[in-house]
Amino acid sequence: MPEMNLTGARMQLRNGRADAEAFRARAIVGFLIIVLCLAALVSRYVFLQIYRGTQFAQTSDQQRISVRSVAPSRGLIYDRNGVLLADNIAAFRLEVVPEAVAGGPGGLDKLLAELGDVVAISADDIERFKIARAKKKAFESVPLRLKLSEDEIARFAVDRWRFPGVEVVPYLTRAYPLRSLFAHTVGYVGRIDMNELVKLDANDYAGTTHIGKTGVERWYEDELHGKPGSETVEVNVGGRVMRTLERVAPTPGKNLYLSIDSRLQRAAEEALGGRLGAVVAIDPRNGEVLAMVSEPDFDGNLFVNGIGQADYTELTQDPRKPLLNRAIAGGFIPGSTIKPYAAAAGLELGVRTPSDTVVSTGEYHIPGQARGYRDDFPAGRVDLKLALAWSVNTYFYSLAYELGIDRFSGFMGKFGFGAKTGIDVAGEASGVLPSAEWLRATRNQPWYAGYTVNVGFGQGFWVVTPIQLAHALTIIAAKGANRPPHVLRATQSGIGAPVQPAPLPMPGPSVGTRPGTWKAIEEGMWLAVNGPPPSTVSGLGKEFPYAIAGKTGTAERYSRYDETWTTIATSSAERHQVLFECFTPAEEPRVAVVVALEAGKSGASDAAPIARKILDAWLKYDDDAPATPAKVAQQ
C-alpha cells in the first residue's frame, strides 16, 4: 500500500515537470511573437517617420490648405464720348447656409415658404437654388434671390431673426444703364452653361460664373473677362475656411470704348419709331459705326442673372422677333438700292459708259422671249444718271442681262454681298448673293436668263443685311476704298490707365479703277435726292446744309401671283420691304446711313424720312472733330 502511494507521487512529479517545460516552451514562443510584433511596429514607425515623413507632412498640409480662385472684375463698355453702356454695379442678394437651418430638408422647405412672404421668391429662384445647393457643402452659402431692392432689404431686416442661416450679401453684377438702347449691339452676359463650360479653359474661368452671350460682350469676351486671381486659405477637416494665408489679386478685364455715339443711337431709335427694321450709320473715312439700331429690342438686364421663364417665353414667342439683331442678321431684299452697285459693275467691266442711253418703254424683253419685265413707268431715253435718279428698272434689266450672271455676281462680291463683313459684333449673317453656282449648290436647279434680269434690280434670290448694304455704300462714298465696319475704337487696361486707340481692321481690296465711275454714280444718287420729280426722293435734302446722295429701294415681299398678295391688297404698306441708303456731304462723305424696314409702302415714303431725321441728328452732334480716346480719358 505505501509502495503504491510512492509510485503515484513519482508519476505526479514527472507530469508536473512536463507541464512546466511545456509552459516554458509556450512562453518562449509567445515572447518571441511579441518581440517580432514590436519589431514590426518599430520598423513600420521608423519607415513612416523617417523615410516617408516628409511626404506625409506635405499631404497633411495639402489637406489643411486650400487654394481658391477669385473671379476678375469684368471690363466696362463706353460709347465714343465716355457714356457708360455696360457697368458692374454693387447689388445685394439673399444667401442661405443650409446647415444653419433647423429641421433638415423639411425645415429648409418651410423656411423658403415663409421667406417668400417677406421677399418675392419665384419658382425659378427656388429651382436654381436647389441645383446650386446640390453642388455645395452644407456649410457653404448658396445664392437664393439676386438683386434685392432697397424695400426688400428693409423688409428682410425687420424679420431677419425668423430666418437663421439666411443673410443679405453684397456682390457685383453686370448692368446696362441704357437698357434696351444697346441691347443688340453691346449684347449681354449670362450664366455659363454646360455647353460653354466644356469648351472653356478651366484655369482662365476659375471662379467665374458669367460669360458674354451676344453682341460686343461675346465678341470681345477675352478682352473683357480678365484673368482670375487666387487666395490660399486654411481649412479644417470639414473644409470650413479658418483664415486666409495668401491672396493674388485678379487682373480686371479691359475697358472698351466703342465708336458709336449714344446720342445718335438714341436719335436713330426715335426716328424708327418702333417700326420693325434697322438703322446703320458709318463714317466712310474709317469704317467706324456711329449708330446701329434694331427694332424691336429688349432689355439686356433681364438675362444677366437668369431670365425668368415668363419673360423668356414672351421674347421667344413674340412674332416680331425682338431677339433678332436685324442690323447684322436681318435678311432684306435690297430692291433698287442695289442699282448703284450694278451701275459700278457696268462701268468697271466696260459694258456701259456714263453717257450710254437706254430707251425705257415701261417694259423689257429678253431677246428672243415674249415675256415682258415691267417697269413703273415709261421713262424714255435715259443715261446712267437719270436711271439712278428715277430708278428706271428697264435700264438695269438690260444691264444685268448684258453682263451675264457670272460677271454680275462676281462684281457684286467685291462690295461684300453674300459674305459677312466681319463686324466685331457677334451674330452676323452672310445673306445671299445670287449666282448660278449658288443655285446649283443650294437648290440643284439651273440658272435662267430671267433670273439675271430679276437680280439686276435687286429682286429674285437676293438677301442682304443692313450692315452689308452700309458697308457697300461706304465703298461708293469712299470712291472705291474698302474699309471694313467696326465698333471698337479704343481700349483701357483699367480706370485711370491710358486709353489706347484700337488698331483699324485691315482694309479690303479696293473696288474700281476706271476714272469717272464714282463721280457718275454720285451724280445719279445726288439727283435722286435733289432733282425734280420723277427723282425718287425729290426734296429730301431741302434746307440741309450739305449735299445728300441717296437711293431708295422698294422690294416686293410676296409674289404678285402669291395668295398672300391678294389677302393684303387693302394694305399696300404691308406688301413691301422698304430701304433707303444715303451719304453726306456728297463730295467728301463723312457719314453713310442705311434704313431698312420690314414693311412699308415705298422706300421714298417710309425709309427716306427716317434717314433724314438721322442726318439732322448727326449734323447736331458732329463737329468733324469727335472726341479722341485721350479726351475721353480726361472727362
Is 141 catalytic? The answer is no
Q: Which of 294, 336, 391, 398 is catalytic?
A: 336
Residues 6+ apart with CB under 8 A from 597: 275, 276, 277, 577, 578, 579, 606, 607, 610
Task: Express each pLDDT in 30-87 by its tens digit.
Answer: 777 887 878 777 776 666 567 665 655 555 544 567 666 778 899 999 999 999 999 9
Pick from 586, 630, 635, 618: nearest CA to 288: 618
Q: What topology is assigned to 70-258 in CATH?
A: Penicillin-binding protein 2a (Domain 2) (3.90.1310)
Give the domain ranges of the chain. 70-258, 262-316+326-634
Question: Among candidates 247, 242, 220, 251, which has minimal Cα distance to 232?
Answer: 247
Instruction: Give the pLDDT score at 11.
Output: 60
How many Å apart are CA 612 and CA 620, to the nearest integer? Answer: 12
Helix crossing, 339-348 with 393-403: angle to 10°? 40
Strands 142-145 and 84-96, how do they pair?
antiparallel
Q: What is the pLDDT of residues 580-591, one digit of tens each?
A: 999 999 999 999
Given this model, what pLDDT does residue 632 score?
39
Handedness of CA 88, 90, 92, 96 (dihedral sign): positive
Mark the ranges of the chain whose per-residue pLDDT is less than 70: 1-20, 22, 44-49, 51-64, 66-68, 104, 135-136, 139-140, 235-241, 557-575, 623-635
- CA 473 – CA 480 distance, rounded (Å): 10
- Residue 230 near residue 248, CB atoms below 8 Å: yes
Q: What angle do CA 423, 326, 199 make, to 5 degrees?
A: 55
Q: Under DSSP, is residue 233 helix (H, G, I), strand (E, B) or coil? A: strand
pLDDT at residue 299 in the model: 96
Smallest CA-to-CA distance from 529 within 480, 464, 470, 585 is with 585
Fold matches, 70-258 and 262-316+326-634 = no
Q: Length of the chain, please?
A: 635
Give the global pTM. 0.82
Neighbours of 614 (CB within 10 A): 27
pLDDT at res. 325: 98
CA distance 331 to 333: 7
> 603: helix, coil or strand?
helix
CATH code of the domain occupying 262-316+326-634:
3.40.710.10
